[in-house]
Amino acid sequence: MMEMLTNLVTQSGVGATQLSAILLGVLFLTMIIGLATGQELAFVLGGAGVIIGYLAWGGPGITIAMTKVYDQMQSYSMVAIPMFVLMANFLTHSKVADGLFLSIRYLLGPLKGGLGLAVIVVSTVFAATTGIVGASVVTMGMLSVPVLLKCGYKPSLACGMVCAGGSLGILIPPSIMLVSMGSYANVSVGKIFFAAIVPGLVLSLFYMIYV
């Protein structure tokens, strides 16, 4: 396959820059096809990378992919990521978030914008326990948006509160993004967590003040 691609490039007079553009186009096309057919995101991204690596470098491209996978399997910091995802699933399916949102909703109900404050508070708690955005956004979207709209909140504000609160999941420790950054940059994940606590809580406070 690699020899055929090399011969085709040589015969057509395509330069290295043009070849890179072609491979980039094939990469995005492969990803779009994979996602459109309903395949799992991890396999779409990984498979597209392996395919392009093979087209670009041949056998060494497969070796590079295998080496990177093995390196990630040996990363001590990366072990935390599936645990965070598992914890988010526990919170979502155990209906703990439902009860928490209902309790804070009753507690802050008398305040102006109390329902919106409840959304931000629960999103902050989710961020401090799951480390991912998806769990908070999906759960709070299903729980709070219908109630917010029923109580007269603007649709833009209701959706904005859910999305903004969900974004705290990548900033307030524990955070999968911070774990990944610490692993790739060879920096202590614990120190990154300490550095992100105050900015995350301040951002949450500003959200509540705005609401």
Q: Kindly indicate the confidence band of residue 8, based on its pLDDT and cuts at 50, 70 and 90.
A: very low
Contact yes or no for 102/119 (Cβ under 8 A): no
In tens, the pLDDT along 14-26 reads 556 777 777 788 8
Average pLDDT rounded to a whole number, residues 80-90? 73
Q: Kindly indicate the confidence band of residue 205, based on its pLDDT and cuts at 50, 70 and 90.
A: very high
Q: Determine how many CB atoms are found less than 10 A away from the CB of residue 134.
A: 13
Q: pTM above 0.85? A: no
Check residue 114 and give its pLDDT. Answer: 85
Task: Note the helical H segments in the chain.
Answer: 2-12, 16-36, 41-57, 59-73, 80-93, 96-108, 114-130, 133-150, 155-167, 176-185, 189-210
- Residue 187, phi-psi category: left (phi > 0), alpha (psi -120 to 50), beta (remainder): beta
Mean pLDDT score across all residues of the chain: 79
Check residue 202 and give its pLDDT. Answer: 92
Give the whole-angstrom CA distance, residue 71 versus residue 33.
28
Residue identified by tokens 């072990």 is 79
- Structural domain boundaries in the chain: 2-73, 78-210
- Evaluate if residue 119 carries a pLDDT over 50: yes
The tokens describing 189, both together, are 């994940």
Average pLDDT rounded to a whole number, residues 194-205? 90
Secondary structure of 113-127 in HEC code, one letter for each residue: CHHHHHHHHHHHHHH
Check residue 50 and give its pLDDT. Answer: 84
In tens, the pLDDT along 150-175 reads 888 889 988 898 888 888 888 888 77
Check residue 68 and give its pLDDT. Answer: 77
Contact yes or no for 141/162 (Cβ under 8 A): yes
